[in-house]
């Protein structure tokens, strides 16, 4: 066979049959997020109420939603280290958690000198 013959460049039919097949089933691809993230859905009414309490309360609220997404639970421990990663010191954390609790957006279970256990509360009228 002549090496310049175009027929010599054709693919084997068995091999070519595998290349052209594409799965008809859609596959969703989960992308891994690098760094910090917020996992939703987050009710806009909840964020609106938190924003009325000040910037620190809103920022701590966002951190709480982050921790909720990481822990996959509405109840979790909130340590000073968690909030330090986001630039919130322990005094701002304490004030913001108290403000969020007074507004009815979170429930706090004090544990003495240990990290408080926080539960995010979403009232039924704040779900949208």
Instruction: In whole angstroms, give the CA distance from residue 80 to residue 114.
Output: 10
Instruction: In whole angstroms, give the CA distance from residue 9 to residue 12.
Output: 9
Q: How far does Cα 36 stand from its chain's mean position?
A: 8
* pLDDT of 125 above 60: yes
Residue 69: both structure tokens together: 């997404």
Q: Is 106 helix (H, G, I), strand (E, B) or coil?
A: strand
Instruction: In whole angstroms, give the CA distance from residue 74 to residue 66.
Output: 10
* Listed residue (42, 35, 45) closest to 64, CA to CA: 42
pLDDT score at 111: 86
If pLDDT is split at 50, 70 and 90, which confidence band does 44 have? very high
Backbone torsions φ then ψ of 10, nearest 5 degrees? -70, 145
The answer to whether the CB of 50 falls within 8 A of the CB of 103 is: yes
CATH label, 44-126, candidates 3.40.50.1820, 3.30.413.10, 3.90.226.30, 1.10.10.10: 1.10.10.10
Listed in order, strand segments (DSSP E) in the chain are 75-77, 106-111, 114-120
- What is the mean predicted confidence (pLDDT) over 33-49? 84
Regarding pTM above 0.85, the answer is no
């Amino acid at each position: 066979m002549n090496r310049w013959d175009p027929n010599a460049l054709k693919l084997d039919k068995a091999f070519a049959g595998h290349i052209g097949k594409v799965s008809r089933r859609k596959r969703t691809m989960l992308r891994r997020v690098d760094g910090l993230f917020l996992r939703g859905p987050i009710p806009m009414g909840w964020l609106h109420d938190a924003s009325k309490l000040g910037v620190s309360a809103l920022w701590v609220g966002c951190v709480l939603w982050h921790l909720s997404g990481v822990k996959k639970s509405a109840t979790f421990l909130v340590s000073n280290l968690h909030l330090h990663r986001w630039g919130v010191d322990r005094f701002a954390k304490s004030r913001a958690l108290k403000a969020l609790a007074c507004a009815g957006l979170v429930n706090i279970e004090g544990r003495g000198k240990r990290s408080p256990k926080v539960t995010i509360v979403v009232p039924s009228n704040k779900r949208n």
